Structure 1
Amino acid sequence: MLRHVLSVAVPLSLSVLLSACSQSEPPKPLARPAMVVQPQPARAATEAYPGEVHARYEPDLAFRIGGKVSKRLVDSGARVRRDQPLAELDPEDVRLQLEATRAQVAAAEANLQTVRTEYQRYKTLLERKLVSQSQFDNIENTYRAGEARLKQIRAEYDVARNQAEYAVLRAPQDGVIATRRVEVGQVVAAGQGVLLTLAADGDREVAISFPEHAIERFRIGENVSVELWSQPDKRFSGHIRELSPAADPQSRTFAARVAFDDAKVSAEIGQSARVYVSADGQVPLSVPLAAVSAEGGQAFVWVVDPATSTLHRQPIRIGPFAEDRVPVLEGLKADDWVVAAGVQVLREGQQVRPVDRDNRSVKLLAKE
């Protein structure tokens, strides 16, 4: 009998306990710790633009006459001296033309010698009244025509001789071959494209591109600083020497050249560089790089409400990124509290427990 009573009472008590648990409120989720900071004034705000070291003078080289390339004497990166041969055309055609013009010069010289002799003889006969004036005038005109013909043929010979020399492409000055687009067997026209590009010895510059939306802030002669990839701990003073008046049709950026103030800066062709331009105090605040997120092309940060310790998404407009901070142009105030880490796992309206970098609780008070 006792066993029967226990078998009924135990399940009944368990059901009463479970019913009581189901009717109690679920425990509130614990507030998530969130490291918070306030925006800081941007000290000496600068904008950084990537660039590449180039020679100030980079002439594009091509043959002045057409023909078939028979020799290529240099490769990219080769150091060359002034007047050094770089490539040659097949010389057969220009050689034949030179020989033909030389033969015409010889014929014109022989003809002039004949008409000169005839001219001298008629001149003597005219003095003796043995020929008429009209006969002498005809011989004189023939003589003058012979002189003009010889002068013309000699000029054509000089052109042919120059063209024979143009069959050899030579370096206009000392430098390094930056690019090569010519091969043996290639048929080229006079002045066709760019076969070789020479980076001339001398001044070095940094080629950069400025964005379209900020081009009005830059001007020729503006002071900048340059950091070379090979010398990250040094910054060299420079200035904007050249600024394109028109945007590139593909990238929509404006090409610029930055010259070093010190001509002795050790910068090699093709080195990576970074150009820093002062923002002239236009960026009042900045936040840590890890605090910024973006969605749909819109940058934002998570701001903590001091009254409720809840989050809301705050859209911002930012400037060029620095190494560890981001300048904020619009959207934040100096007394806002911004979440500085773990922003990828946060959501709108979430309650957080503000802490500092040492995991100590932070009382959210605006700056005095």
Structure 2
Amino acid sequence: MFRHALSVALPAVLSLSLAACGSGEPPRPAIRPAMVVQPLPARDVTEAYPGEVHARHEPELAFRIGGKVSKRLVEVGERVKKDQPLAELDPEDVRLQLEATRAQVAAAEANLQTVRSEYTRYKTLLERQLVSQSQFDNIENTYRAGEARVKQIRAEYDVARNQADYAVLRAPQDGVIATRRVEVGQVVAAGQTVFTLAVDGDREVLISFPEHAIDRFRVGEAVSVELWSQRDKRFSGKIRELSPAADPQSRTFAARVAFDDAKVPAELGQSARVYIHAEGSVPLAVPLAALTAEGGQPFVWVVDPKSSTLQRRPVRIGPYAEDRVPVLEGLKSDDWVVAAGVQVLREGQEVRPVDRENRSVKLVAKE
């Protein structure tokens, strides 16, 4: 009986113990702080575009005839003078062509001497009425054809002589070799780019605008330029040129920014950043750290002022500025946006809004 009573009592005791343990409520998760900000108006936003310093004039240099490259006389970054040889083609083919044309000139001139003698003789015979007019006309036509042939061959000889000069590629102006696209031994076609020359003179910054923003900019618009080698200075400039067509690969529109002062110490290839005032172009802007994305769709976390819970808000953004991103659609000026740690947040999570000094923020709309 004792064993039977124990077997009945033990489960009852365990049941009571488990019931006692389960009677308490689960612990409430800690409410984490979240740094919040409100979007800034567009007048406080400056868009920034990275760029690179280029020469204003950058002609692509090429041979005017095709052939095999036998010599390359300069390297990228080397300074060259006007008419300085840059590269040479194998001269054997053009030399043989020149000799062949010279021989054709000699043959045509010899033939002209023969037909000229015949023409003079037949003219004397015609005056004595010893030949008919038709015979004289035939000889005269032969003489005229000989003269035309000599002119033609001499012109071809001049072309061949020019082509011999074209076997040497020379610099059209003073400047710096910016790019090189051939090697010794390579066969190139006439007009194929061999070098790009950065001509001495004005310097500009090459930047690119995205497709959706190209309508906001115009030629002559004032900008400021910061060279990465001189981060403490801003140089004034303006948009000098806008490409009318997008690049087929990047789908961006190239633009060239000219300095107002031609003496700006900008060197070829230097990195730069162009700042353009975006007043009136976008309604609002938020810090870069407030933006995240999922599946290619950007969004921000907005705090509900009543419940202090998070709501995912999809947005449409513009081109990134230095530390902010303009928001074209999806936000209002009185929204409160989480500005840090957005990657670890979740929908409906309760947070404690704080400012950058870790002070509690009362979520109210801007006046």
State the TM-score bracket (shorter-chain normalisation): 0.7 to 0.9
Q: What's the CA shift string for 1:59-93, capped at 9, x where partnerless? A: 22222222222211112222222221111122122
- What residue identity is the alignment partner of 2:36? V
- 1:52 counterpart residue number: 52
Deviation at 1:136, TM superposition (A): 5.0
CA contact 1:45–1:281 (8 Å) conserved in 2: no
- 2:320 counterpart residue number: 321
Deviation at 1:142, TM superposition (A): 4.0
Q: 1:93 to 1:319 in 2, by over 3 A?
A: closer
- 2:97 counterpart residue number: 97
CA contact 2:216–2:281 (8 Å) conserved in 1: no
Q: Map of 1:41-80 to 2, 5 A cutoff?
A: 41-80=41-80
TM-score, length-normalised on structure 2?
0.83
Q: What's the CA shift string for 1:129-177, capped at 9, x where partnerless? A: 6766556545544443332222222112111111111111222222222
CA contact 2:227–2:273 (8 Å) conserved in 1: yes
Q: 1:30 to 1:121 in 2, by over 3 A?
A: closer
CA contact 2:67–2:89 (8 Å) conserved in 1: yes
- 1:108 counterpart residue number: 108
CA contact 2:45–2:285 (8 Å) conserved in 1: no
- 2:339 counterpart residue number: 340
Q: What's the CA shift string for 1:1-33, capped at 9, x where partnerless? A: xxxxxxxxxxxx999898655423344344322
1:208 paired with 2:207, answer: yes
- What residue identity is the alignment partner of 2:211? E
Deviation at 1:178, TM superposition (A): 1.7
CA contact 2:97–2:160 (8 Å) conserved in 1: yes
**SS of match in other structure, 2:231:** strand
Q: Map of 1:1-368 to 2, 5 A cutoff?
A: 20=20, 22-117=22-117, 119-120=119-120, 137-191=137-191, 193-368=192-367
Unaligned runs of 5+ in 2: 1-12
Output the CA distance in 2 between the equivalents of 1:89 and 1:21: 94
Deviation at 1:297, TM superposition (A): 2.3
- What residue identity is the alignment partner of 1:232? R
- What residue identity is the alignment partner of 2:28? K
Q: What's the CA shift string for 1:83-116, capped at 9, x where partnerless? A: 2111112212221222222233233334444544
Q: What's the CA shift string for 1:28-59, capped at 9, x where partnerless? A: 34432223333332434232222222223222
CA contact 2:205–2:272 (8 Å) conserved in 1: yes
- The range that moved more, 325-334 or 77-86, is 325-334
Deviation at 1:356, TM superposition (A): 2.7
Output the CA distance in 2 between the equivalents of 1:34 and 1:56: 49
- 1:5 counterpart residue number: none
Output the CA distance in 2 between the equivalents of 1:351 and 1:340: 16
Output the CA distance in 2 between the equivalents of 1:148 and 1:156: 12
Output the CA distance in 2 between the equivalents of 1:197 and 1:319: 34
**SS of match in other structure, 2:256:** strand
Output the CA distance in 2 between the equivalents of 1:30 and 1:363: 19
**SS of match in other structure, 1:234:** coil
- The range that moved more, 114-123 or 199-208, is 114-123
- 1:10 counterpart residue number: none
**SS of match in other structure, 1:227:** strand
Output the CA distance in 2 between the equivalents of 1:111 and 1:17: 130
**SS of match in other structure, 1:172:** coil
- The range that moved more, 73-82 or 275-284, is 275-284
Deviation at 1:198, TM superposition (A): 1.9
Q: 1:129 to 1:82 in 2, by over 3 A?
A: same
**SS of match in other structure, 2:333:** coil
Deviation at 1:308, TM superposition (A): 2.5
TM-score, length-normalised on structure 1?
0.83
Output the CA distance in 2 between the equivalents of 1:100 and 1:25: 106
Deviation at 1:196, TM superposition (A): 2.0
CA contact 1:44–1:281 (8 Å) conserved in 2: no
Output the CA distance in 2 between the equivalents of 1:190 and 1:336: 63
Output the CA distance in 1 between the equivalents of 2:107 and 2:68: 31
Q: 1:241 to 1:132 in 2, by over 3 A?
A: same
CA contact 1:227–1:234 (8 Å) conserved in 2: yes
Q: 1:24 to 1:149 in 2, by over 3 A?
A: closer
- What residue identity is the alignment partner of 2:46? T
Q: 1:54 to 1:141 in 2, by over 3 A?
A: same
**Equivalent residue pairs, number:** 356
RMSD: 3.1
Indicate the percent of aligned positions where both proteins have the same amino acid: 84
**SS of match in other structure, 1:286:** strand
